[in-house]
């Protein structure tokens, strides 16, 4: 009922605005009742129609990790200075205008339709446009810009944060790491897809060359994570606005990858089972590679079994620039969470060359 009253209030506002603009502009055709102003809803019904399309998107979004994960909106993360930039809707709307380290809004909201889209700015379907500037925004960590098309809307949040100390591979001075959380923070996927020369990871020299995989050059977040969900039917869990490329767990064999995001290139796989088995195989190999690097870091006393850096304010870790770079690269790769799949060739070079720098 409250929603209906709200709607009627905004609806009549829309009609009033329209009546007053007809003084300047050309008049709309009179309605059947002879009153001008039918155009007042013409914009609204480009979106608010009876086809339930918006309702479907909302239902998908409701099962997204953004809503269910507990780290957005009402969480403490949304209410902390700076954190709010990517952990609330209002923070994000300031961040896309180039303002970072914002103070939290009074009532921080989870990301929602208004966050990414310009809802109710012009009251026409143009408002599906994104808030991110054309061409993308510079990364926080190195000022480089990676234009990932519509996925620019994702990578404002899914990017590395600045990690202190910033390293200089040309310097022979040691650096001091003072936090067990040293690294790029939790969502550096945008940087991983940007890859070569842009990622902000430290491209140590070694036996492997840095090249980007096809996933990074010819696909984007949206290709894989927002393709329509194969077989997700009435639970909306896969693809679309759920943003889920896969659901279920690897641990109990219930994981299911959405083949629709992959089929354009991996045409040999026609259903979720096929692509899921392919991903499982790559994961097994890649987890081994990540472990090789972690074991080197553990042997040197730099990280523990959980992957946390062995450092604190009271007892800093003092290492060479190259060793600190290898620690950063390890965190970058694990925080990306795709087990190298976002940009396999690039990530494998980071691992191999980091191992060589430690030996
Ligand atoms: C670009 C598409 C679009 C257009 C055009 C549009 N809306 Fe909306 N509207 C939305 C979306 C998206 C929501 C949020 C839905 C949700 O949160 O589930 C919304 C929500 C609403 C709500 C519910 C309150 C709220 O903020 O959630 C009202 C009322 C409303 N719109 C009225 C209007 C009126 C009146 C017009 C025309 C003057 C209009 N809208 C034009 C997309 C649109
Ligand atoms: C406003 C910042 C923001 C934007 C924009 C954003 N994300 Fe997120 N994303 C987050 C945060 C924060 C989380 C963690 C939420 C939680 O745990 O509660 C998250 C979680 C996720 C997850 C689930 C991760 C998991 O471990 O289950 C996926 C997948 C994801 N985002 C993909 C995307 C894609 C694709 C886009 C663009 C269409 C996008 N995100 C846009 C901030 C954002
Ligand atoms: C530049 C954007 C950005 C900023 C600023 C940011 N976060 Fe996040 N944060 C993310 C994204 C994106 C995710 C989800 C990453 C994923 O699932 O891979 C996330 C996830 C998290 C998680 C969940 C981790 C997990 O593995 O489930 C915690 C906790 C968190 N952030 C805390 C913070 C805190 C505390 C701050 C402020 C000191 C902060 N974040 C600032 C983007 C950001
Ligand atoms: C995290 C960012 C994000 C949020 C939040 C979000 N969307 Fe979207 N939306 C996208 C992206 C990205 C696309 C483009 C997908 C594509 O190209 O396939 C899109 C596309 C759409 C489209 C198609 C637009 C067109 O031009 O035809 C509609 C409709 C839509 N979203 C509705 C919604 C609704 C309703 C909500 C709230 C429940 C919502 N979106 C929330 C990112 C978002
Ligand atoms: C080529 C397809 C592809 C592209 C492009 C892609 N992803 Fe992924 N993403 C995956 C796969 C596959 C996984 C791993 C799923 C698994 O292990 O089950 C994954 C994992 C993730 C995860 C960890 C949570 C989860 O659901 O497993 C997040 C968060 C994520 N991607 C966000 C992004 C963002 C943000 C972008 C764009 C910067 C992006 N991805 C681009 C395919 C892709
Ligand atoms: C734009 C084309 C394209 C799309 C879309 C695409 N892939 Fe790929 N994928 C490739 C190519 C080409 C390779 C091998 C060469 C390379 O690494 O560049 C590859 C390699 C892989 C690998 C091997 C990774 C490794 O560690 O070597 C996996 C797993 C994979 N893809 C899974 C997926 C999944 C899952 C999706 C959909 C969610 C997907 N791909 C979407 C083109 C694509």
Q: Whose CA is nearest to atom 1 of ligand 2?
A: 86
Q: Which of 13-22, 65-74, 113-122 has the lowest mean pLDDT?
A: 13-22
For ligand 4, the distance from its centroid to the CA atom of residue 235, given in whole angstroms, is 18
pLDDT at 11 over 90: no
CA dihedral 189, 194, 198, 199 (to 10 degrees): 20
Report whether 344 contacts 215 (CB < 8 A). yes
Chain centroid offset of residue 234 CA:
25
Residue 147, both tokens: 């234009």
Compare 17 and 132 and report the one with higher pLDDT: 132
CB of 59 within 6 A of ligand 1: the answer is: no
Place of tokens 């894989």: 224
Average pLDDT value for the chain? 90
Chain centroid offset of residue 73 CA:
16
Query: How many other β-carbons are positioned within 10 Å of the β-carbon of residue 122?
Result: 11
Cα gap 63→232, rounded to integer Å: 12
Nearest to 105 by CA among 125, 118, 91: 91
Residue 309, both tokens: 């850096």
Q: Give the pocket of ligand 6 (CB within 6 Å).
A: 213-215, 218-219, 223-224, 245, 257, 261-262, 264-266, 275, 278-279, 282, 286, 340-341, 344-345
Average pLDDT over residues 210-224: 98
Residue 279, both tokens: 């991903």
pLDDT at 281 over 90: yes
Query: How many other β-carbons are positioned within 10 Å of the β-carbon of residue 18?
Result: 20
Q: What is the pLDDT of residue 343?
A: 98
For ligand 1, the distance from its centroid to the CA atom of residue 120, given in whole angstroms, is 6
For ligand 3, the distance from its centroid to the CA atom of residue 33, given in whole angstroms, is 55
Q: What is the pLDDT of residue 30?
A: 40
Nearest to 260 by CA among 225, 294, 236: 225
pLDDT at 21 over 90: no
pLDDT band at 74; cut points 50, 70, 90: confident
Average pLDDT over residues 278-288: 98
Q: Which of 11-25, 63-77, 95-109, 306-320 has the lowest mean pLDDT?
A: 11-25
For the chain, state the CA radius of gyration: 24
pLDDT band at 12; cut points 50, 70, 90: very low
Q: What is the pLDDT of residue 60?
A: 95
């Amino acid at each position: 009922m409250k929603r209906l009253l709200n709607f009627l209030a905004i609806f009549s506002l829309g009609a009033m605005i329209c009546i007053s603009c007809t003084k300047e502009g050309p008049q709309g055709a009179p309605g059947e009742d002879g009153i001008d102003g039918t155009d007042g809803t013409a914009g609204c019904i480009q979106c608010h129609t009876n086809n339930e399309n918006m309702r479907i998107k909302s239902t998908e979004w409701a099962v997204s990790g953004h809503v269910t994960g507990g780290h957005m909106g009402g969480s403490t993360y949304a209410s902390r200075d700076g954190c709010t930039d990517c952990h609330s809707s209002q923070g994000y709307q300031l961040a896309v205008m180039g303002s970072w380290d914002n103070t939290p809004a009074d009532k921080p909201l989870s990301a929602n339709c208004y966050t990414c889209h310009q809802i109710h700015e012009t009251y026409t379907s143009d408002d599906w446009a994104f808030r991110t500037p054309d061409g993308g925004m510079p990364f926080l960590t190195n000022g480089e810009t990676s234009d990932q098309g519509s996925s620019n809307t994702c990578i404002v949040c899914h990017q590395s944060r600045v990690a202190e100390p910033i390293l200089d591979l040309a310097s022979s001075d040691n650096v001091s790491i003072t936090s067990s959380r040293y690294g790029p923070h939790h969502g550096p996927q945008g940087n991983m897809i940007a890859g070569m020369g842009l990622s902000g990871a430290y491209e140590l020299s070694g036996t492997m060359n840095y090249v980007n995989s096809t996933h990074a050059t010819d696909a984007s977040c949206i290709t894989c994570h927002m393709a329509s969900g194969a077989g997700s039917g009435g639970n909306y869990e896969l693809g679309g606005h759920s943003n889920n490329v896969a659901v279920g767990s690897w641990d109990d064999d219930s994981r299911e990858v959405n083949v629709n995001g992959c089929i354009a290139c991996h045409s040999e796989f026609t259903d979720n089972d096929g692509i899921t088995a392919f991903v499982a195989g790559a994961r097994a190999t890649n987890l081994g590679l990540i472990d090789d690097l972690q074991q080197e870091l553990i042997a040197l006393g730099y990280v523990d079994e959980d992957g946390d850096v062995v450092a604190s304010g009271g007892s800093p870790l003092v290492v060479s620039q190259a060793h600190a770079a290898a620690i950063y690269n390890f965190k970058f790769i694990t925080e990306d969470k795709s087990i190298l799949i976002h940009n396999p060739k690039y990530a494998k070079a980071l691992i191999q060359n980091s191992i060589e720098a430690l030996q």
